[in-house]
């Protein structure tokens, strides 16, 4: 009988990610890089593939400028955008000259928040009792799917990545946002396995 030695390597389950993102769209008037923070949960690899579930929060000085449609009326938006997304990544691992490389295919549910000052809220319900507190936030949100492809290289517990994505905001909001309101993004990331 032949005994095989098994080398144990720690399978890190959490990834913290810091990224710099450049968004490109005809509806962006002031283009500045944004910073994104993300947490992703890594499932164990099977057949050189793995699943990651998580999300990012993105904030920057990018100014969106477009006409926002609500209840048949259009309102001028000129606002910074804040983005929150949740979703999954399929990671395919391969090696070139002893260097592990990951091909990333990402699908996330993406929500853009912009300043909604001056846009009327939905009719406010009367409180059912006097102890009810209502919070009114002057923000409008536009949600859609984001599709991305990228590469990541690991040096021990530190990963360096690049990714390109498209976010078609007109996908579900046919009357809310103008034509050609798609955002194309390029992102560089540093990831840390925890």
Domain residue spans in the chain?
14-118+135-193
Residue 22 gets the label, from left (phi > 0), alpha (psi -120 to 50) or beta, of beta
Domain 14-118+135-193, second-level architecture? Beta Barrel (2.40)
Q: Provide the pLDDT for residue 129.
A: 65
Interval 24-38: pLDDT, tens:
998 888 888 999 999
Q: Is residue 4 predicted with pLDDT exceeding 60?
A: no
Bridge partners of residue 184, in order along the sequence: 24, 166
In this structure, the strands spanning 99-115 and 158-168 are unpaired
Bridge partners of residue 193, in order along the sequence: 15
DSSP structural state of residue 171? G
- Report yes or no: 134 and 126 within 8 Å, Cβ to Cβ: no
Tell me the pTM. 0.84
Confidence at 10, pLDDT banded by 50, 70, 90: low
Alpha-carbon gap, residue 116 to 113, rounded angstroms: 9
């Amino acid at each position: 009988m032949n005994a095989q030695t098994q080398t144990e390597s720690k399978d890190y389950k959490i990834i913290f990610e810091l990224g710099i993102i450049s968004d490109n769209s005809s509806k962006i008037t002031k283009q500045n890089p944004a910073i994104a923070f993300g947490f992703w949960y890594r499932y164990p690899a099977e057949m050189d593939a793995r699943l990651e579930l998580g999300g990012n929060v993105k904030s920057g000085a990018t100014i969106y400028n477009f006409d926002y449609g609500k209840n048949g009326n259009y309102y001028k938006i000129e606002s910074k955008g804040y983005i929150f997304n949740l979703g999954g990544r399929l990671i395919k691992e391969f090696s070139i000259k002893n260097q592990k490389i990951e091909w990333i295919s990402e699908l996330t549910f993406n929500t853009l928040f912009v300043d909604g000052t001056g846009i009327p809220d939905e009719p406010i319900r009367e409180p059912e009792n006097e102890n009810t507190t209502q919070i009114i936030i002057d923000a409008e949100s536009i949600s859609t799917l984001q599709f991305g492809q990228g590469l990541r290289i690991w040096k021990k517990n530190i990963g360096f990545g690049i990714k390109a994505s498209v976010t078609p905001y007109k996908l579900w909001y046919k009357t809310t946002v103008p034509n050609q309101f798609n955002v194309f993004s390029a992102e560089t990331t540093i990831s840390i396995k925890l």
